[in-house]
Amino acid sequence: MGQDKALLEFRGRPMVEIAVEKLRSFCAEVSIAGNRGDLSRFAPVVEETRADVGPAAGIEAGLKACGQAWALFVPVDVPVVPAGLLRVWAEEAIEADAKGPSGSYLLAEGRPQPAFCVLSKGTLPAWRDGLDQGERRLEMLLGRARAPGRYAAGAVEAGSYAPRATSLQMKYWFSNVNTPQELAEAEVWAEVES
């Protein structure tokens, strides 16, 4: 994109602001994982302690800093995913019985979206162990993410939280904005949908 995507404007607003606003609509606390103090005007910034690890370092930092029993992670460069879908999914993941999963991550029509994950804070030791062993792939780390007395985080279909969603909606809801063309297409689609 030629610039940091967190501050890239989507329909006139920085993408980080859009993500924070969605999460604030139902989360007790919201923070931004990364080593960018300039983003603190949107929400507190949780600093990553590992370099060159990618999104897995942000999840580790978020789990460590989380003041709640559960943490929800969403990528900043997916600006059109509905807050309602995220809320219903997070609520269901948290309400699972005590011996249930340690969390979940989303699938969009069968395609893994591991950057969208809800994890028990108790998964932090397993997450750290995976990173210490050199694993960086989110799906692999999620498969190891176990809290004591629970089984690993599993995949759930996003469409089950938005049963009337079309294939086109799912495509745009979970498309990363990585190029100027993808940004323009997503903005046009969002305008038509609103």
Tens-digit pLDDT profile for residues 164-183: 888 888 888 998 888 889 88
Residue 194: pLDDT above 70?
A: no
* Domains of the chain, each with CATH number or no CATH: 5-193 (3.90.550.10)
* pLDDT at residue 180, as a whole number: 87
* pLDDT at residue 118, as a whole number: 96
Tens-digit pLDDT profile for residues 136-169: 999 999 999 988 888 888 899 999 998 888 888 8
pTM over 0.75: yes
Tens-digit pLDDT profile for residues 65-81: 999 999 999 999 999 99
* pLDDT at residue 10, as a whole number: 94
Rounded CA separation 36/33 (Å):
8
Residue closest to 173 by CA, chosen among 93, 109, 94, 103: 109
* pLDDT at residue 99, as a whole number: 67
Contact present, 78 and 174 (Cβ < 8 Å): yes
Tens-digit pLDDT profile for residues 87-143: 999 999 888 766 688 999 999 999 999 999 999 999 999 999 999 999 999 999 999
Rounded CA separation 139/154 (Å):
9
